[in-house]
Amino acid sequence: MDFTNILRVDCRDEPGLIYKITGVLYHHGLNIVRNDEFVDRAHQHFFFRAEVAPQRAEPPQAEKVVAGLWGLLPHGANIQFTDRQPKRLVILATKEHHCLSDLLLRHEFGELNAQVLAVVSNHATLGPLVAKFGLPFHYLPHEGLERAAHEAQLLACLEPYQPDYVVLAKYMRVLSPELMARFPHRMVNIHHSFLPAFVGANPYRQAFERGVKIIGATAHFVNEHLDEGPIIGQDVVRVDHSKTATEMAQAGRDVEKIVLAKALKLVCEDRIFVIGNKTVIFE
Amino acid sequence: MDFTNILRVDCRDEPGLIYKITGVLYHHGLNIVRNDEFVDRAHQHFFFRAEVAPQRAEPPQAEKVVAGLWGLLPHGANIQFTDRQPKRLVILATKEHHCLSDLLLRHEFGELNAQVLAVVSNHATLGPLVAKFGLPFHYLPHEGLERAAHEAQLLACLEPYQPDYVVLAKYMRVLSPELMARFPHRMVNIHHSFLPAFVGANPYRQAFERGVKIIGATAHFVNEHLDEGPIIGQDVVRVDHSKTATEMAQAGRDVEKIVLAKALKLVCEDRIFVIGNKTVIFE
Amino acid sequence: MDFTNILRVDCRDEPGLIYKITGVLYHHGLNIVRNDEFVDRAHQHFFFRAEVAPQRAEPPQAEKVVAGLWGLLPHGANIQFTDRQPKRLVILATKEHHCLSDLLLRHEFGELNAQVLAVVSNHATLGPLVAKFGLPFHYLPHEGLERAAHEAQLLACLEPYQPDYVVLAKYMRVLSPELMARFPHRMVNIHHSFLPAFVGANPYRQAFERGVKIIGATAHFVNEHLDEGPIIGQDVVRVDHSKTATEMAQAGRDVEKIVLAKALKLVCEDRIFVIGNKTVIFE
Amino acid sequence: MDFTNILRVDCRDEPGLIYKITGVLYHHGLNIVRNDEFVDRAHQHFFFRAEVAPQRAEPPQAEKVVAGLWGLLPHGANIQFTDRQPKRLVILATKEHHCLSDLLLRHEFGELNAQVLAVVSNHATLGPLVAKFGLPFHYLPHEGLERAAHEAQLLACLEPYQPDYVVLAKYMRVLSPELMARFPHRMVNIHHSFLPAFVGANPYRQAFERGVKIIGATAHFVNEHLDEGPIIGQDVVRVDHSKTATEMAQAGRDVEKIVLAKALKLVCEDRIFVIGNKTVIFE
């Protein structure tokens, strides 16, 4: 961790952008520890991320850097110059522990650049697990409630935490487009299949019925369409005819938890840009 | 290759099947070099494959082995006791060479348990490649022909070869259900995606548009529904945002050729059973 | 879990073994739910494992089954007919939590066929983690002790637990051949490299220095030679020039914990045979 | 292929390098289609590669670009500004065809950015294969010759071709340090193991004896020490106890040919820098 700030820029592509941006950094005495850039040809859009460190002891003057860039970059550019504050997370789960517990452990041992503020669930099952880690657990049962009423409770529960990101760690309730729209590109889901195969419920049963030889998991940002948001990461594991649907689900869980944790790490390190329904990731 | 015959049995499951089958082999002086079995619980169906070698010099009496099994196994049992004759193959291709050329090379160097009899294509492109390997090349253009008329020519071309299997090595024409029904579980296709994702045409374009992080290929038996036959093998390769649809297709080609060759090897070694829309594979 | 007992046999290979074994099972009214066998040609050794269930309600008579096999199999055969008792485990760790915590979670949620009896460490670091799960934690510092003295304490600590297996979950002390000999094929280690590459200490530093493009982890039984026991499982992850040795170690940790957990599951389900320095695994 | 030139720079790291380089490109009317850079912290060394295209129709003035950079970059900088000429290759092989034939096919269909000039072998076996592709085949038997004498013939054979790179496509003769020193970072080898495991001869036999669960292949630049040059690419495939050493070798061949072809593509597209014994690869 030999850098102090991250500069993120995305804008319409045009000649000379890297020259201009690195010039501003250079003139403010900021060393580029690492930078990445990418031009999406289809959208003629430019993406840039740099980890920077001041050459001298004094902290960088964020406002001046951004102002210096502002005048040079195309109209409509997005510019972020941030320090490395841990992201604020709230995790939603249902009954399955594997993704939640993996995140809680990484959090406990400081392996995510994040602060887990609370866990919310529509079941009481995972309360004792969360208690082990000394975190607030909110049990919001959905039985007997209209979806809108349940989601209103959920929003009321989330609101005081002011999370940067909401993590759906095997949260098995379908969310309304309205709720999802409240967290644009700020809600991360783990889908228990290799999207776009097996969209929807019970993908391991679907995979079993189809007789596939590989199953997978997909971490993605949530958008207003179920399972169709920008994909962050995917991984797979081999299966064969001898595996039941239950055994496929067991094998899938190990993939799910690693894929979600890796995706969340990328999110919390500000490595992801979203364009349309796709991601640009500087790993 | 220290065995001479393969016994394949599949039938309704019941107690004692392995005992009965291995007893017949034992009493006919046949050593089991390797055997595999599997019970599909959902269908209560039993699958068995053994590689056997005679303990004495004389060849096994196939009829007696089969007759001995016949009386012991449940009604409707499928029993095959075969020697290791190379399978007879005809390959269909269009313009892309990578799958075809990989198979031609493996054939040339005796790495498939198969004899490639001919290559058929709806384009002339691959003729020179096939000529290098001294095999018949049939150019059957489809332009200006109804599908039925073109398929009639295709069938007439295939007929004299009496192939055990027809291999679709990137044959880019949709076949009619009628034609496919002529080769039940005897037509092997390579689909350029990780089925069931991206069924149909131009899957790499679809994968690019969807922003997936992994692409794959699927070898499968053809049934009457496009891309929905029993899956034989699948494999994947990682991609990222920097890859164009064209580059994804390039990366996919290496996966396609290996997946098809491996699947065909399993087919030609009599290692695959089909049940419903799924395969049982004894690798 | 539709079976009640596991029969494991290994012996010198000879004709008719499967016939004889399945005959005994058949005559004792035991259905074979699943069975696997393998002949190691180099050693002319036969391996057999079957999951069996009684056809009738009464429990199988283990002694009679074993006695029935005893008379039929070659001299020196190993025969085990066991019920599905959870294995008794003690876990050794040092300071790193990732393997230990993954096992504790799987244990907590009943995902291993095992009972974790205690955790032993030469550091106090992981005590609070173990306490969360309500398990005994034994802190046995090695500072100021001869190796023999420390190992005597360790053995004294292990002894009352009578563990079936000892798990080295990133236990970073080299054990003496004498201690290892106390647990023949009963001590499972996770080595943080793709053995046999990078034997010994600090493999991620070695991998970094060598500039490899893939790193891995290996679970193995411990024998008297460091890192040379029979391999149970391995997996890998891609890295590139941009990764530091520290980042390689981070990436490796996710592989290590999954590889160890999978290996331990195979061990606890009696799926592994050892022959010489190799394993035969019926997955 | 929407770029015309590649600029490669590597030099001692210092602040402002990207700014200076991109400034020169900008002022010469060169658009950066794609660029990558990396700083090796351990060596304080900077690597930069850009694909550039002129904004106007006239071709870029290579000398002026390089001269412009020369004055700005640290002493000792390496600067290359090249057009996209196919690399000149000579391939060395022995008896195994799989790597050679895969390269010949890719070459035949224009998939490598390279021109294969000739194939040289110490056996006659592969002559007919090479003849199919209309390329010169030089048979240089080593029997009855001292190594120095054989290598003198080899050098005399290579010399007129003036190859940019020599590809060892399963060339099974150990080369002398003197010969290897003639092609510094210009000789690419495929090693049939997952280096650094199983250095030396017969790695599949070694892998079989060790009982590994994954085998792999490694493409690397040759240096004066056998199998220890900078690694370009690696890949793996799973195996299990049922595989013989021969079957492991068969499985390994598919990995070898893909790994070598991918590595060679990276080489021929000028994507690789070497520092010490490691590579920096901009994929």
Instruction: Give the pLDDT confidence of B155-173 residue by residue, as tens digits.
Output: 999 999 999 999 999 999 9
pLDDT-derived band at C225, boundaries 50, 70, 90 = confident
D130 to chain B: nearest residue by CA? B132
Q: Which pLDDT score, from 0 to 100, does residue A4 have?
A: 83
Q: Is D101 on the interface with B (CB under 8 A)?
A: yes
Residue D15 Cα distances to A28, A35, D72, D78, angstroms: 11, 13, 12, 17
- Among candidates D19, D41, D238 on the partner chain, residue whose Cβ is nearest the Cβ of A19: D19
Catalytic residues of C: 227
Q: Do D280 and C241 touch (CB under 8 A)?
A: yes
Q: Is C16 on the interface with B (CB under 8 A)?
A: yes
CB-side neighbour CA atoms (13 Å) of A20: 17
Say if residue B72's pLDDT is above 60. Answer: yes
Neighbouring residues of A87: CB distance < 8 A, sequence distance ≥ 6? A113, A114, A115, A164, A165, A267, A268
Q: Which pLDDT score, from 0 to 100, does residue B225 have?
A: 75
Structure tokens at C177: 């051949």
Catalytic residues of D: 227
Phi, psi at residue D23, to the nearest 5°? -65, -45
Size of interface B-D (CB pairs under 8 A): 28
With H, G, I as helix, E, B as strand and everything else as coil, classify residue B204.
Answer: helix
Instruction: Give the pLDDT confidence of C39-86 residue by residue, as tens digits.
Output: 998 899 999 999 998 887 777 788 899 999 998 999 999 999 998 899
Q: Which pLDDT score, from 0 to 100, does residue A42 have?
A: 86
Q: Which pLDDT score, from 0 to 100, does residue D56 have?
A: 76
Contact C261, C235 (CB under 8 A): no
Q: Is A280 on the interface with B (CB under 8 A)?
A: yes
Q: Do D38 and C198 touch (CB under 8 A)?
A: no
Instruction: Give the pLDDT confidence of A179-193 residue by residue, as tens digits.
Output: 998 999 999 999 988
CB-CB neighbors (< 8 A) of C36 in chain D: none
* Mean pLDDT of chain B, nearest integer: 92
Q: Is A261 on the interface with C (CB under 8 A)?
A: yes
Contact A146, A176 (CB under 8 A): no
CB-CB neighbors (< 8 A) of D40 in chain C: 241
Say if residue D1's pLDDT is above 60. Answer: no
How many helices (H) and strands (E) are present in chain C, helices listed first? Answer: 8, 13
Neighbouring residues of D78: CB distance < 8 A, sequence distance ≥ 6? D8, D9, D10, D11
Contact B210, B237 (CB under 8 A): no
Say if residue C166's pLDDT is above 80. Answer: yes
CA distance B267 to B87: 9
Instruction: Give the pLDDT confidence of B103-154 residue by residue, as tens digits.
Output: 999 999 999 999 999 999 999 999 999 999 999 999 999 999 999 999 999 9
- Among candidates C98, C109, C254 on the partner chain, residue whose Cβ is nearest the Cβ of A97: C109
Neighbouring residues of C226: CB distance < 8 A, sequence distance ≥ 6? C174, C199, C200
Q: Which pLDDT score, from 0 to 100, does residue B204 have?
A: 83
CATH of B87-281, one of 3.30.2000.20, 3.40.50.170, 1.10.3720.10, 3.90.79.10: 3.40.50.170
Q: How many CB atoms lie within 10 A of CB C130?
A: 24
Contact B271, B281 (CB under 8 A): yes
Instruction: Give the pLDDT confidence of D60-76 residue by residue, as tens digits.
Output: 788 899 999 998 999 99
* Mean pLDDT of chain C, nearest integer: 92
Set A227, A240, A254, A270: catalytic member: A227
CB-side neighbour CA atoms (13 Å) of C214: 27
Residue B36 Cα distances to A43, B77, C273, D146, angstroms: 54, 17, 18, 52
Q: Is A35 on the interface with D (CB under 8 A)?
A: yes
Nearest CA distance, C11 vs chain D (angstrom): 17
Peptide bond into C163 cis (omega under 30): no
CA distance C232 to D210: 11
Say if residue D77's pLDDT is above 80. Answer: yes
**CB-neighbour burial class of residue A111 (10 A; exposed 0-12, middle 13-18, buried 19+):** middle
Q: Which pLDDT score, from 0 to 100, does residue B227 have?
A: 75
Closest to A216 (Cα-Cα) out of A189, A185, A249, A175? A249
Size of interface A-B (CB pairs under 8 A): 79
Peptide bond into A196 cis (omega under 30): yes
Sequential pLDDT tens for chain A (283 residues): 477 899 999 999 998 899 999 999 999 999 888 889 999 988 999 999 999 988 877 777 888 999 999 989 999 999 999 988 999 999 999 999 999 999 999 999 999 999 999 999 999 999 999 999 999 999 999 999 999 999 999 999 999 999 999 999 999 998 999 999 899 999 999 998 877 777 777 888 888 888 899 999 999 999 877 678 999 999 999 999 999 888 999 999 999 999 999 999 999 999 999 999 999 999 8
Contact B33, B53 (CB under 8 A): yes
**CB-neighbour burial class of residue B190 (10 A; exposed 0-12, middle 13-18, buried 19+):** buried
Q: Do A216 and B212 touch (CB under 8 A)?
A: no
Set B36, B227, B235, B254: catalytic member: B227
Paired sense of beta strands A278-281 and B5-12, if any: unpaired
pLDDT-derived band at B205, boundaries 50, 70, 90 = confident
Phi, psi at residue C256, to the nearest 5°? -55, -45
Q: Which pLDDT score, from 0 to 100, does residue D226 have?
A: 67
Q: Which pLDDT score, from 0 to 100, does residue C11 have?
A: 97
Contact A223, A230 (CB under 8 A): yes
Q: Which pLDDT score, from 0 to 100, does residue D228 have?
A: 81
Q: Is A62 on the interface with D (CB under 8 A)?
A: no
D259 to chain C: nearest residue by CA? C213
Assess whether A254 carries a catalytic annotation.
no
Q: Is B49 on the interface with D (CB under 8 A)?
A: no
Nearest CA distance, B262 vs chain D (angstrom): 10
Instruction: Give the pLDDT confidence of B244-277 residue by residue, as tens digits.
Output: 888 999 999 999 999 999 999 999 999 999 999 9
pLDDT-derived band at B226, boundaries 50, 70, 90 = low
**CB-neighbour burial class of residue A153 (10 A; exposed 0-12, middle 13-18, buried 19+):** middle
Give chain C's length.
283
CA distance C226 to C222: 7
Query: Cα(first)–Cα(last) distance of chain A, in Å?
Result: 15
ipTM rounded to 2 decimals = 0.91
CA distance A169 to B83: 54
Nearest CA distance, C185 vs chain B (angstrom): 27
Name the class of domain D5-83: alpha beta
- Among candidates B97, B108, B258 on the partner chain, residue whose Cβ is nearest the Cβ of D109: B97
Contact A80, A157 (CB under 8 A): no
DSSP labels, D225-267: STT-SPEEEEEEEE--TT--HHHHHHHHHHHHHHHHHHHHHHH
Spans of all domains in chain B:
5-83, 87-281
Q: Which pLDDT score, from 0 to 100, does residue A226 have?
A: 67
Instruction: Give the pLDDT confidence of B38-62 residue by residue, as tens digits.
Output: 999 889 999 999 999 888 777 778 8
Q: Is C215 on the interface with D (CB under 8 A)?
A: no
Q: Which pLDDT score, from 0 to 100, does residue C167 have?
A: 98
Q: Which pLDDT score, from 0 to 100, does residue C36 have?
A: 92
DSSP labels, D84-153: -PPEEEEEEE-S--HHHHHHHHHHHTT-SSEEEEEEEESSSTTHHHHHHTT--EEE---TT--HHHHHHH
* Mean pLDDT of chain D, nearest integer: 92
Neighbouring residues of C62: CB distance < 8 A, sequence distance ≥ 6? C5, C81
